[in-house]
Amino acid sequence: MRLTVLTHDIEAVPTPPPPPIILQSPYRSEANVMASLAKPDDWVPQPGEWPVDPQEDVPISDERIWVDGCFDFAHHGHAGAMLQARRLGNELLVGIHSDEAIREHKGPTVMTLDERVAAVSACRWATLPVPYAPYVTQLSWITHYGARYVVHGDDITSDSSGEDCYRFVKAAERFKVVKRTPGISTTDLVGRMLLYTKTHFIRSFEAVLDGKEGSGSDEERKVRGKEMKTRIAEYASDASGHNPWCEVCTWRANVDVDGGEISQMVAGRGPQPGQRVVYVDGGFDLFSSGHIEFLRRVVGTELERARTSGWYDEQATEKRKLETESDYEPVFVVAGVHDDEVINRHKGVNYPIMNIFERGLCVLQCKYINAVVFSAPFAPVASYLKALPHGIPDAVYHGPTDFMPTELDPYADARQLGIFCEIPHHPYSEINARQIVERILKNRSEFEARQRAKGFKAELEEKILQQEAEQATAI
């Protein structure tokens, strides 16, 4: 069975929305599935065996870029690599390694292949996810899908034998380097879970951005704050990575009065005529397939609502094009992201695993999102909803939650306003930060071994970098 993944447009989802795609082996039609999965990295699939369409070779284009990796956790480092790669062309193909290949070369994955594909598919800058991509990047694969260049960060990734995973594309001069996103990696996140650290917490998001909180000297804090603001603006870009798209704001509560104020950080592209503005909120910790599927269903529900009301009728479509010189979807999604202190107060231990900056960037890169509000309150009361940049939204959505840390209903005001909507349970409902941490702790010894192996591989990879530097100097 082949899997065809559509990522260019969001399709209307009937009510109730369908379950997410659960990946199966692309070689399911062959007699021996396990033998197929055990194919060597240099195996070249034949038409009908490629994991996603097209099955016939595509003409090579300089504008079609390939990146690949494990993409275990949807952290902003992965998104940053995809953003930089997308800016180098018009299409971005994202190869995703299988669970089996990663275990062989690196160690166990935290997220399953279908969960990792869901995360890549939700990134605004990804054109097409390609599951089962070989761990050692092969010219045959990138050539088949029509990509001239492979892009990777300025670090080295090695296979189980200690060799560079990009040695073949480098030799063919089809390799480009982008800057690796500092301060975040899957290894870092796993370490936070295993060691129960809290040093990543941010007390005041605005203070950090202004260089008034954090480690280092005053000058270092100011530089770090400026870099964070720059990254937020970059992650707010559209699917091309070049133009403004998402609005970004911060909420500052006023303890002396009932309310607070919204401050705009990035202008973005606001709601268009006729769009319904809907609000979602949460911690979005370890931005998982549970969060992504919830957001997909929010958008899908709104698209179906628009379809039944005539949004896609020819006359309505032509009117929008005439008035705005372009067409657009009927929904504008605003996502509120809670502070670290708010989440820790309700969940305890060392939650959130990602701080508000990291979680906000994860939400910001998602193609289902149009605006982000940092430091959003746990309960979206009427005064807060009224203070949002576009006023009280048309709907406030919440997903299936078995765990509610307070007896008070955070959405009481939204219910009273008649705008509360709930997305029912779905196959990814239980995938959240707590469940992911449990996966790590359940297999603690394996992940501790993976952490140690990562340290050993880092030494080998540093030697490869030194060798490349020496060769470049000699030339």
Which token pair is 90? 């018009």
Q: Please give the Cα distance from 245 to 265 (Å, whole number).
A: 13
Return the minimum-mean-pLDDT range out of 272-281, 444-453, 462-471. Answer: 462-471
pLDDT score of 281? 98
Q: Does residue 464 carry a pLDDT above 90?
A: no
Q: Please give the Cα distance from 281 to 299 (Å, whole number).
A: 14
Return the minimum-mean-pLDDT range out of 61-70, 75-84, 233-242, 372-381. Answer: 75-84
Tell me the C-alpha to C-alpha distance, in Å, between residue 78 and each of 70, 94, 117, 181.
10, 11, 13, 8
Return the minimum-mean-pLDDT range out of 147-151, 220-224, 323-327. Answer: 323-327
Question: Tell me, what amino acid is at 282?
Answer: G
The closest alpha carbon to 171, from 195, 208, 136, 200, belongs to 136
pLDDT in tens, 170-181: 999 999 999 887
pLDDT in tens, 212-258: 999 999 999 999 999 999 999 999 999 999 999 999 999 998 765 56
Q: Does residue 19 carry a pLDDT above 60?
A: no
Ranges assigned E (strand) in 350-441:
371-374, 395-398, 420-422
Q: Which domains does the chain have, with CATH numbers?
A: 33-182+454-474 (3.40.50.620), 244-307+328-437 (3.40.50.620)
- Whether the ω angle into residue 352 lies within 30 degrees of 0, i.e. cis, is yes
Question: Quick one: average pLDDT of 197-204?
Answer: 93
Q: Does residue 73 carry a pLDDT above 90?
A: no
Which token pair is 91? 């299409």
- Whether the ω angle into residue 134 lies within 30 degrees of 0, i.e. cis, is no
CB atoms within 10 A of CB 212: 13
Tell me the C-alpha to C-alpha distance, in Å, between residue 314 and each of 126, 325, 345.
29, 15, 51
- Angle between the 433-442 and 444-474 helix axes, to the nearest 10 degrees? 90
Which token pair is 275? 């769009």
CA atoms within 13 A on the CB side of 314: 0
pLDDT score of 134? 95
Q: Please give the Cα distance from 18 to 236 (Å, whole number).
A: 29
Question: Quick one: average pLDDT of 39-52?
Answer: 86
Q: Please give the Cα distance from 59 to 189 (Å, whole number).
A: 39
Q: What spatial distance separates the first Cα and last Cα of the chain, rounded to whole Å? A: 48
pLDDT score of 184? 73
